[in-house]
Amino acid sequence: MRDLLRRRRMWRRRPELKPRYDVVILGGGSHGLATAYYLRRLGITDVAVLEKSYIGSGAAGRNTTILRSNYKTPEGARFYDASVKLYEGLGAELGYNLLFSQCGHLTLAHSDRAMFVMANRAEVNRLQGIDSRLIGPDEIRELVPTMYVGPDTTYPIHGALYHPPGGIIRHDAVVWAFARGADEGGAEIHPYTEVTGMEREGDRIVAVQTNRGRVAAGVVVNCTAGWSTLLCDMAGVRLPITTHVLQACVTEPVKPFLDVVIVSSQMHVYLSQSDRGEFVMGSEIEPWTTYRTRNTLNFLQDLARHALELFPQLEHARLLRAWAGLCDLTPDYSPILGRTELENFHVSAGWGTYGFKAAPIVGRTMAELVATGCTPDLIAPFSLERFYEDRLVSELAAAAVSH
């Protein structure tokens, strides 16, 4: 009975902050909570997750829920593939229905050049054992009979990169499940706890200052996505990141007629149909840097124009909601993961539009780094040092958007 009651609750009420924790995680989104969860699995439970707003209020609650691993570089493909594999077992592991649908993912190609690039990507993917291949218009029509694949569109469809394991998952459920899993292991989750400063002694962060007082820390892990540069500034660590906004929206629910994720970087549109019947759609990042997360009419007009070319059936569908999130971009469009120049201050940042896909593998590898002091092989290519050592991992144009 106690177990049952415990299961019904999500996580414990926020306790008082203790004066010290072995590990302090900044950011209560999918990366921070996943790190706390995997730390628990490694036996590290004196952990606090500090979140300035509510749990999952940042990028984890503002993405378009797409999972995939069909990246451009071997390093990227390997890394995101490990994440998709963890996602496959996550619902059962955490005892939570995450509504993961591996419905497949199609990246449309609208030119010969795009076909060539997709063919290369498929090769890179297959060499990593990832199911990914180039298909032509006939197979596209079979997979998505409801999509318009005719010649008289702005960007006629020549083919697509087809990635069967890609799909969508319920993003807020992922956050809640990780939070509950971390909490069950003893990690403390502290919403509405904003970090206002960091105390540094030599090459270590000894404590973080918050709006609820000072907390000493053995290790600090910065998982704050769009705000990571601001938090790193407090620690005196510079990140080569610019912050942009990315907008998305959802229609009212309509009868299910799309069961694959459709992406076109040339049309700047990606869309899928949720389990509730809503069309979840997104577009290109705004090219300027800002923290202003407001929607714009231009975004909605451009997105609607492109979405309707592919799915004219949506002509009368009304928009239910639109939102915007922060996108932290690095010069090579790959993340920055792991150690910084400070001994006990690690970072998961620079995710662009890829962060949510990586949550489980970020959690697992960051937890391993904290527990062992060694950088796992899978994240070694994404170290901050690569920008000083000219070892970039270019994922330019591997996204649904044109970054």
Residues that bind ligand PYC (CB under 6 A): 64, 66, 68, 270, 282, 353, 399-401
Least distance (Å) from ligand PYC to the CB of residue 121? 12
Distance CA(233)–CA(395), nearest Å, equals 26
* Chain centre distance of CA 9: 26
Least distance (Å) from ligand PYC to the CB of residue 401? 5
Beta carbon nearer to ligand PYC, 48 or 246:
246
Contact between 93 and 154 under an 8 Å Cβ cutoff? The reply is no
Least distance (Å) from ligand PYC to the CB of residue 64? 5
Distance CA(220)–CA(232), nearest Å, equals 11
Beta carbon nearer to ligand PYC, 322 or 371:
322
Q: How many CA atoms lie within 13 A of 76 on its CB side?
A: 26
Q: DSSP assignment, residue 101?
A: B
Least distance (Å) from ligand PYC to the CB of residue 57? 18
Residue nearest ligand PYC, Cβ-based: 353
Beta carbon nearer to ligand PYC, 187 or 250:
250
Beta carbon nearer to ligand PYC, 229 or 272:
272
Q: DSSP assignment, residue 17?
A: P
Beta carbon nearer to ligand PYC, 107 or 344:
107
**Encoded tokens for 253:** 């629910």
Least distance (Å) from ligand PYC to the CB of residue 80? 9
How many beta carbons lie within 10 A of that of residue 390, not counting itself? 6
CA-based nearest residue to 215, from 231, 201, 197: 197
Beta carbon nearer to ligand PYC, 36 or 66:
66
Contact between 280 and 271 under an 8 Å Cβ cutoff? The reply is yes
Least distance (Å) from ligand PYC to the CB of residue 53? 22
Beta carbon nearer to ligand PYC, 90 or 248:
248
Least distance (Å) from ligand PYC to the CB of residue 261? 8
CA-based nearest residue to 250, from 57, 55, 63: 63
- In sequence order, the 6+-apart residues with CB closer than 8 A to the CB of 259 are 101, 103, 104, 273
Contact between 112 and 188 under an 8 Å Cβ cutoff? The reply is no
